[in-house]
Amino acid sequence: GKVLVLHGPNLNLLGTRQPEIYGHETLEDVNNALRETAVLAGWDIDCRQSNHEGELIDAIHAARLDGTQAIIINPAAYTHTSVAILDALNAFEGRVYEVHISNVHQRESFRHHSYVSLRADGVIAGLGTRGYQAALNAVIRASA
Ligand code: DQA
């Protein structure tokens, strides 16, 4: 199998950005742990981060054509604003898991609504960076 992990804007700052909310692990730590799990399960994994909405959309389009079976996405702030990312995900036929490191429902009300949740097969919020591992386990099991 093949899985794409997409991290949205500001997640390149993970580990140093509001660590009381997002923790001390860096994005590299998160991606390395995901790669380890994927390799053990015999999955190909591609982990990408972008601060640009269009780049995230282009990566979703590429996933339609390269045999990617699942996308794990933390759209970050675009979660709450981006119809364009929702539309791109609607054009992708595999499974989609939405991950938020923090419990968005416990925070400002503008974080309570997600466009991406309309498409996501599963949503994980508030488990910290372990949420990505939970999503990857779901991907691996769904296709076992
Ligand atoms: C986030 C939550 C979003 O509201 C926020 O804009 C982020 C990160 C999370 O992982 O908890 O950048 O997606």
Distances in Å between the Cα of 2 and the Cα atoms of 47, 55, 72, 90 are: 11, 20, 11, 18
Q: Respond yes or no: is residue 61 known to be catalytic.
A: no
Q: Tell me how far the alpha carbon of residue 102 lies from the centroid of ligand 1, in angstroms.
A: 7
Ligand 1 nearest atom to the CA of residue 77, by list position: 6
ipTM: 0.99
Note whether 101 and 79 are within 8 A (CB): no
Report the SS3 class of residue 82.
Answer: coil
Q: Which residues contact 57 (CB under 8 A, 6 or more apart)?
A: 84, 85, 88
Average pLDDT of every residue of the chain: 97
Q: What is the pLDDT of residue 10?
A: 97
Specify whether domain 2-142 bears CATH 3.40.50.9100: yes
- pLDDT exceeds 70 at position 2: yes
Report the SS3 class of residue 68.
Answer: coil
Task: Tell me the domain boundaries of the chain.
Answer: 2-142
Q: Respond yes or no: is residue 100 known to be catalytic.
A: yes
Q: What is the pLDDT of residue 142?
A: 85
Rounded Cα gap, residues 18 and 113, in angstroms: 21
pLDDT in tens, 58-100: 999 999 999 999 999 999 999 999 999 999 999 999 999 999 9
Ligand 1 nearest atom to the CA of residue 131, by list position: 10
